[in-house]
Structures are given as structure tokens and as C-alpha cells.
Structure 1
């Protein structure tokens, strides 16, 4: 009944625009992990995740909802039933007349789970803006961009939102000559402008964590996944998948594009459930093969779903952009928790990393 209700409530959406007051808000939900298993525990986890969505959307008023990867735990999903999880996830959005954009993560790409089928299901709702602009076996599925136009009604975009499928997981229904499931590479290497969303973080985030360090007051957020899992993890330099290789460096072209493209404000990732901080990457951190950063903000969201590992309190990162602040390369962000509390409220401006903020409590919730 949920799917029928949601489909019946779908409406057409105009192009994304800044509001009359010149602002545009994004709510990011990451790592929902619906369908973790086929038992009562998983059923209750998914119900709790729906409660998280409802609670946060009741407290916030986003112009766009971003579903930042691992919507489903695909290892336990199958083509004939996985689309039902899409209906459950987007039900709270459709009920409120909200529009959303997704990109898929490693758990959304599995032998028994087709990301193409997930996209088709999303696109059956008029509320969905998720697209596929890059075709090909090695491109992933959810690679696209969305323009956001100005409040004055002009036809020139004020902001571009780029979504990248960081892949990972396994290819759908593919076996090698020995009958083994074929792993899918977990990196991306295209040039992007302005604001980016990608499920698996780049090696720059790992370097920020392990080389510079994440101070609790200047870079507030929990920092429990140390070392974090980045793009290229578990792949050798020659492109073979092996537990003997820590990192193959395949995301270096992607990182170079991030720091060399003018106007990129930030990259927002998921994947590492126990990390919620932001780091402004400047010349302090020199990354081998890349060099220093240009002030790019590397941010994690909050683990949103009750599926997946970890019991950190669930929540959603909020982004508030204004046409006026865009000219200075600034935006405000905070995390709204399922408790209703707000933590990690910061301004990603020119002095972020120097300003001091309250440390984020390392709270847990247990289902």
C-alpha cells in the first residue's frame, strides 16, 4: 500500500531554485541500509530508520533531500524485492511533497541487486531527480548533475550539484570463469565543479584524519572510524582486488580534479558510519601525487539508518547555502539528530579550522 500511496501522491517538480530569501537547504541521509537481513530485527531496524526520516523532516525544511549511498544492504537483497525498500525509504519524502536525489554506494551494487533496477524504481516517482548521465559497464549508475537556479527566476544556474557513483560492491549477476562473484572497483576519476556528493570518501579524507588529525573543537564531529575506509581500499595498483593491498591510488585523478576545479565548495561522503566531521583541506596537508588543497571542505554526514554497523545516534547533515555567501565560497552546516538536538553547527568559511566550536558528544542509540 505504501508504494501505491506514494505513486498516487507524486507531482511534477520545477527546476531547483533558491528560495525567495536567497537560500537553499539540503538534507543528507546516508547509510540507511534497509533490508539488512530477513528477520524481525531487520524489520524493526527499517521501521526505526523511517522514524529517523520522519523526525528529521518534521524539524527541517529542505529544498532537496540527498540520499548519499548504501540505501540498501544489497548482500541480502534480490532483484524481485529490493525495489520495495526504495518505496519505504522515499515514502516520508513523498508524503511531504519533497524532491530528492540519490547516488548509490557499494552496498547498492551487489550480485543479487541491480542498481539499474533501483534507479528505474526511483524514476517511477515524479519527485525523483536521480539520473544516469554516464553509460557504460565501468561507469556506475548514478552519475549526474543538477543545476540550482537563482531566486530572481533567471535561466543561469547559481550552483551545480554533482553526484558520483563511487561503485564498490559487486557487479550484478556477473561471475568470473571460476564461478566467483566479480568485485566492482570503488573509485571515480572525473572532473567536477562546485558541490559534490559521493558515497565513499577519497584518500584525502584519510590523510586529513591520520596525518593532520581531527581536533574535536576546530573540526567538531565524531571520529570513531580510524583509519577510515577510502576509495581504492583493497585494490592493488595494477587494478586487482586483494586483501594484501591497502590502497591502489586509483582515486588520485578524481582528487586532482576536485582541487583544480574552480568553485568546488565541498565534497560530502558517507560509508564510514562513525565519522561526522568536516576538514578544510589547504596547503597544510600535502597529499602524494596531488599536492596541497585549495580550501576544499571534506565532510561526512551522520549515519542515518538503523541498518549497517554501529550504534552511533542517527541523524542527517544539513547544508544551508545562500546566494550571497556563495560569492565568498561559504556555507553553513549542522547535524540534526533523531533526538531533535542539533550538533556540529559550523560555518564553512575562510576561518573554519581556526574557529572553536563545542565538541560533538559521542552519543549512541540502541535499537
Structure 2
């Protein structure tokens, strides 16, 4: 757990910067003004996120945990037990974690019951609670189904004081997990004589809800079937992101703020990069999910979801926003359990209308024993340093994957030369649920 500033000092620092953006008192109004105060009731003893005194900030990303699969069979609960072991093994192997990200598909919603569908959250976050770690979530397609909703998962998460997950775009049709978290310098204090000043963030963490799955407690009146939910980042969330980032940059004096972003379902740009070819030494990682499943898959451009279209293109506004945001180093996604690579999107790719500007599109590692596939479980680690954020023209972030075996694979530096530098190939190891239930 990162060392904490005295709570009063930490809150003064973040409050002062918030006031410089919003005025005082600061509230999120209809225009989705940036929310820089801690979400009410969230992580009260932890204060805002900060870099360590040595100038580093360490993120651990778990994804596709898929708890609650086939709870009526012995192997279902055993999967969840094994998934908890994965979480604990990774957390114990990484002694300097500052934030845990749960990047979607926390729960296998289609297998849950209405009465207790979100109770799996308690099992998922237990290892973080025991270690005094805070976490932030995005939600995935399996987190939305007839008996479960992203809103209900958020409510369950927020029963725990370590949760930083929140909702900053209030329109329910835009998804739930659209928000950001600022990360401040370790010595951030309210500068004397600047009642509306404060410390600008050194790093922004953006979280997006790619939705998908099915609408909560809704069935089609004609067919009796569940009602599908769009599986892309909504345009209203994209508009909020653009406006909020612009306001934060203005408040910071006009200099772009380095950032990372998290979303469960990857964009069509990831598919286009995969089709261009994944080099095992220049984009080290497993590349078994071919073709990968992108946002807007299975939808038509006119909004129909009847199985007649392969891809509707509705993730275009989100891709444009990602590509045009200065300082955005990487977008991390999950969803495709058999893909674990990072790829620099720096050109116009065949079949695309949006040109990449150098942002890195990364997958993590399938973390849970729920869900499809037997690839070895693990979690992507992201280590950001203030030194690596100094030069906006050559931002550098280190990342690797910690496996349930304790080994690390796929260590790379996401910098200006990533995609040209060569690294060791990632072995394609597999693990399975022990037949004896141990």
C-alpha cells in the first residue's frame, strides 16, 4: 500500500486543484464538469492517488475473472477458489502496488441469480481488502445480463471503503464505469497564497464502459428473449472524456497531462493491428484469439442487432478520441482471453478511417479460472515513473505480466521506439483446474 499523506493535507491538495477547475463549491453539473474530489464515501482513509517518494506508480490489472460460473456444479465454485489464489499470488509477488484495476467481466452474469448476483464482488475484492489496497473497475459484457447490472455491481463495490470505482457520466444508457482518477506527486501540497490553486495531476487514469451483454430484467415482448445492449463506448461518454480532459489541461496551464486508459472490449483498431501481423519479438505476447472480438461486433451501422452484420463501426468516435488525445500512452483492454500483446497504433490501417497517432493498444492476461480458455492465468503490471513522463515527445511506461506461477513474461517499455525494439517471445503456457479439486 502506498504511504499516505495526512488525510487533511491530501484532501486540501485535491480540493484546491478541483476548485481551480470548477470554482467553489465544485459540483458535477449537466455539462459533466470534472469531478476531482474523492467520490463521496469512497476510500476515505486513503486520499487521492499519489506517486511514491521514489517517483513511481504501480498498477496491477486483473481482467476476465468471470466469477460465479456454474455455481450449481462442483467445478464452478472451485474455479472461483482458484481465481482468488491467482489474485493473492500476484499481489504477494508485487510488493509495491499502488492501485488494482479490475478491467471488466468480474462476474459471469448469465449464470447468476437475481437475489445474490453481485455478492461475488466480496470474494473478488477480499484479497485487496486484506492487503489494504484500493481498486478501480471497468465493467464488461458479462457484467450485464438479465439478473445482474453494472449499476448493481458498482453499488456492491461501494459498500467497501477501498473502492475507487465511480460513475461520472450520469446517463445510464452511456454505461456506468466512465470516470477518471488523477494521480498526484508524492509531495503535492496546496501552494501558499493560492486559495484556488493546488497541484495539477502528474498522471490521469481514464476508465470507460464498453457495455455489451444484455439489459437488466428486460425481455423482448415479441420473442421473450433477452434484450441486447450496445457493446461500444457510448458517444456521450466520449464527449464527456473530450470536454473533461480539455478542462483538466487548461487548469494545468495548457500542458497535456500524461494518461493511461482502461476499457474491457478492445476497439476495431486492435483488430486491424492484429490483421497487420503480430511479431512475437516486437509485440511479445500470446496471439491465439484470431480474429479478436472488437467493440460493435455483431451490430449493424443502423443499430440493428439481428446477427446480419459483422461490425457496425460505432466505436469510431471513441477511436478518434483515443488517437487525438495528446499524452495518452496506452489503452488497456481484456475480453479476448487468448491475446496478451501490446501494439503501437501509429498509422492508418487497411479498412480503417481513423489514423493512429502512436498510442499503444494493450491486452492483459486472462486472470480468472472462469470464462473460456486454459492460458496460464496472471495479471498485467504497469509501472509509471515521473522520469518517464518528463518528455511529452518520448513518454515511457514499463509493463510486464506476472503469472500465477510467479514468473514474469512480456516485459517491454512503451516508448517512442516500441514496435521496433526486440524482446524475448512470450511462451504460450496453459493451466487447468486440478481434477482432484485441490
| TM-score, length-scaled by structure 1 | 0.95
Contact 2:118–2:148, Cα closer than 8 Å, also in 1: no
Aligned CA RMSD, in angstroms, stands at 1.3
2:420 to 351, 354, 363: 354
Q: Tell me, what secondary structure is at the counterpart of 2:154?
A: helix
Q: Distance in 1 between matches of 2:113 and 2:167?
A: 21
Q: Distance in 2 between matches of 1:116 and 1:259?
A: 29
Q: Per residue, is there more strand in 1 or in 2?
A: 1
Q: State the partner residue of 2:304.
A: 240
TM-superposed CA distance for 1:82, in Å, is 1.8
Deviations 1:265-296 (A, max 9, x none): 11000000000000011126355221x21110
- Structure 2: 5+ residue stretches without partners: 1-42, 190-198, 246-258, 434-438
Alignment of 1:164-179 (within 5 A): 164-178=208-222, 179=224
TM-superposed CA distance for 1:78, in Å, is 2.3
Contact 2:117–2:147, Cα closer than 8 Å, also in 1: no
Greater mean alpha carbon deviation, residues 323-332 or residues 334-343: 323-332
Q: State the partner residue of 1:4.
A: none
Q: Are 1:184 and 2:229 an aligned pair?
A: yes
Q: Are 1:74 and 2:109 an aligned pair?
A: yes
- Structure 1: 5+ residue stretches without partners: 1-9
Q: State the partner residue of 1:338.
A: 404
Contact 2:269–2:352, Cα closer than 8 Å, also in 1: no
Contact 1:282–1:293, Cα closer than 8 Å, also in 2: yes
Query: Post-superposition, which runs of at least 4 consecutive aligned residues in structure 1 deviate over 4 A?
Result: none
Q: State the partner residue of 1:54.
A: 88
Contact 1:204–1:287, Cα closer than 8 Å, also in 2: no
CA 1:267–1:287: 2 relative to 1, 3 Å: farther
Q: Are 1:114 and 2:164 an aligned pair?
A: no
Q: Distance in 2 between matches of 1:288 and 1:274?
A: 24
Q: Are 1:92 and 2:127 an aligned pair?
A: yes
Greater mean alpha carbon deviation, residues 334-343 or residues 146-155: 146-155
Q: Tell me, what secondary structure is at the counterpart of 1:196?
A: strand
Q: Distance in 2 between matches of 1:322 and 1:152?
A: 15
Would you say how many aligned residue pairs link Structure 1 and Structure 2? 356
Alignment of 1:8-157 (within 5 A): 12-38=45-71, 39-60=73-94, 61-154=96-189, 155-157=199-201
Q: State the partner residue of 2:34.
A: none
Bigger-Rg structure (1/2):
2
Q: Tell me, what secondary structure is at the counterpart of 1:157?
A: coil
